[in-house]
């Protein structure tokens, strides 16, 4: 079983007013492993994840097919992180990337259709221009946050930098609800075009509901709730399947 050591990446994530350093594995670098399973190791040698080679191949195939349907070019990465997450971001050299973290891989397991739903959603954020709009908005908000921090410091507010940074993060915490719905709809189109089961988008949202302990604050997130997305997805899929 081959061990894969990650690279360090500086990610500029749309919808987040900060650059984050993470370690990552580029999927196309590990997809040709011939053994039945592969190990993803951290820089200190710890095995972060062992997964079947078949799973990484299915993930890569979904990415290639959906990139084509979306009319985009992007790289696919697995990144560190225990809470299930995926996002579209820009890596060090300005390259477009779709990133799925370790927690999300563990949650999905080997379900190729759910990977297609997830990758399709993130690809749609690129195809629809959401990421580019988010990067522009983030630059503006970063400048605004600096000015707000100076103002708070002058007023004698302690930890002003932290307060302004938090404010910017909350304002620009994610894509807006309409963009999320648009990405969900486009993802269903990509899945149908490539013979993936679109209802996997629903089962993925149901998995999110199972692990959500109710501690999230919906008013601090611009994402529609999983319950709302499930209902929207069901209606959308029924409508598209009726037309086929």
Give the tens place of pLDDT for each residue, 4-55.
444 444 444 443 333 444 678 889 988 887 889 988 887 777 888 999 999 9
Strand order of the sheet with strand 3-4? 3-4, 37-41, 47-52
pLDDT one-digit tens code per residue, 112-125: 999 999 999 999 99
Q: Residue 166 above 80 pLDDT?
A: no
The pLDDT confidence band at residue 224, using thresholds 50, 70 and 90, is low
Q: How far apart are CA 66 and CA 62, in angstroms?
A: 6
How many domains would you assign to the chain? 1
pLDDT of 19: 41
The share of the chain scoring above pLDDT 70, in percent, equals: 66
Average pLDDT across the chain, whole number: 74
Pairing of the two strands 37-41 and 96-101: unpaired
Structural domain for 33, as ranges:
1-244
Collapsing DSSP states into helix, strand and coil, what is residue 135?
helix
Torsion angle in degrees (nearest 10) through CA of 98, 75, 121, 106? -60
């Amino acid at each position: 079983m081959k061990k894969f050591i990650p690279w360090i990446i500086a990610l500029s994530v749309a919808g987040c007013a900060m650059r984050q350093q993470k370690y990552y594995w580029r999927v196309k670098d590990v997809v040709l492993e011939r053994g039945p399973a592969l190990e993803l190791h951290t820089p200190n040698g710890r095995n972060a994840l062992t997964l079947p080679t078949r799973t990484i191949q299915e993930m890569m195939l979904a990415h290639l097919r959906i990139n084509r349907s979306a009319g985009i070019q992007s790289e696919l990465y697995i990144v560190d992180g225990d809470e299930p997450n995926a996002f579209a971001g820009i890596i060090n050299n300005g390259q477009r990337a779709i990133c799925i973290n370790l927690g999300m891989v563990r949650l999905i397991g080997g379900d190729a259709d759910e990977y297609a739903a997830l990758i399709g959603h993130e690809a749609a954020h690129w195809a629809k221009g959401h990421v580019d709009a988010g990067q522009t908005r983030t630059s503006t908000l970063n400048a605004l946050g600096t000015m707000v921090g100076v103002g708070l410091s002058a007023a004698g507010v302690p930890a002003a930098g932290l307060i302004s940074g938090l404010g910017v993060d909350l304002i620009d915490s994610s894509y807006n609800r309409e963009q999320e719905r648009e990405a969900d709809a486009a993802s269903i189109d990509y899945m149908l075009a490539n013979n993936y089961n679109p209802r996997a988008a629903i089962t993925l949202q149901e998995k999110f509901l199972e692990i959500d302990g109710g501690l999230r604050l919906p008013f601090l997130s611009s994402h529609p709730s999983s319950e709302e997305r499930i209902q929207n997805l069901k209606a959308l899929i029924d409508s598209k399947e009726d037309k086929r």
